[in-house]
Amino acid sequence: QVQLVESGGGLVQPGGSLRLSCAVSGFTASGFTLDDYAIAWFRQAPGKEREGVSCISTRYSNIRYADAVRGRFTISRDNDENTVYLQMNSLQPDDAAVYYCAADYGGPCEMLDTRYYDDWGQGTQVTVSS
């Protein structure tokens, strides 16, 4: 099991931007590296189910985006800092949610489905309001 801690959430106006960070730790003791994991972002708005946003897998050279965010959000990773980022531009009210990062050991990022992810952060709140 690895630990994930999100940060960077906050309040922005429609059309604004935020950059979320996901710090990943606890895997080096097991002999793993960040590249052994698919790291994904999910979000959950009040009264709605948790939905996938984006995923990055260095091992499989794969990046996925949900249709709702493609072209506006960009996922990236810094292996030296063991951190995954989500740059969110042109934010809209429908983007408001608690954003979570999650890890899937050996995952290829083929599916943005909560069932494939074992380790989760506690989330960071993103509010989009004028």
Q: What is the pLDDT of residue 85?
A: 98
Q: Which residue has the tokens 């972002």?
A: 41
Q: Is 95 helix (H, G, I), strand (E, B) or coil?
A: helix
pLDDT (tens place) for every residue of the chain, 130 residues total: 899 999 999 999 999 999 999 999 998 888 899 999 999 999 999 999 999 999 999 889 999 999 999 999 999 999 899 999 999 999 999 999 999 999 999 999 998 999 999 999 999 999 999 9
DSSP state, 28?
Answer: G
Q: How many CA atoms lie within 13 A of 92 on its CB side?
A: 5
The sign of the torsion formed by the CA atoms of 95, 117, 111, 63 equals positive
